[in-house]
Every structure is written in structure tokens, then in C-alpha cells.
Amino acid sequence: MQFDIVGISLLIFLAMTAISILIVVGFGLKNVIAGKFQAFKIAMIVAPFVVFFGAYGVLGDWTEAGVATFLIQLAVMGATLALMGLRNSFKS
């Protein structure tokens, strides 16, 4: 099997990305075990994955699930901004 420079670069990039993700997850688990976490922050990080896999379960296609996840997250963000704006408008 012969690799060109692009293939080698891509493999190095993917390996470094995977190692970085494993390190971040490792330190995150360490903080959860030590009790230094806030449930809201963890929920905000996990929410897109839950939405994505839920959309994949319903739609059955990775691409459609990705687009649906984007649109759902966009709608939730828009609704949140609108509600915060309304809340601040009526706050005295």
C-alpha cells in the first residue's frame, strides 16, 4: 500500500485529533469523579449528541440527521434568544 503526502497528512491529523479528544474526555471524567463539575454545562455539551442520535434514530440517514440536528439547534437558539429578549423587555 503506497501513501502519498496527502494521505499521510490526513492520517496524522486524524490520529492527533483522536488523541486530543481522548485527553479532553479523560480530564473531563477526572473532574466529574472529583466532583468539580456543573450539571448544566455537561448537559449543554451532551445535548447536540442526543439530538443527533435521536434524529438518526427517527430519520435513519446520517446526512439527514446532521441537517435536522443543525435546524433543531438553530430553532432552539432562536427561541431562547427571543424569550430572553422578552424577559428583559418586561423586567423592571
pLDDT at position 89 is: 83
Compute the 3-state secondary structure of the chain and give helix, strand, coil in percent, each to the nearest 5: 85, 0, 15
Task: Report yes or no on whether pTM surpasses 0.75.
Answer: no
Better-scored residue on pLDDT, 41 or 17:
17
- What is the average per-residue pLDDT within 14-27? 94
Q: Which residue has the cell 432552539?
A: 76
C-alpha–C-alpha distance, residues 47 and 6, integer Å: 34
pLDDT at position 92 is: 63
pLDDT at position 1 is: 56
pLDDT at position 86 is: 87
pLDDT at position 66 is: 94
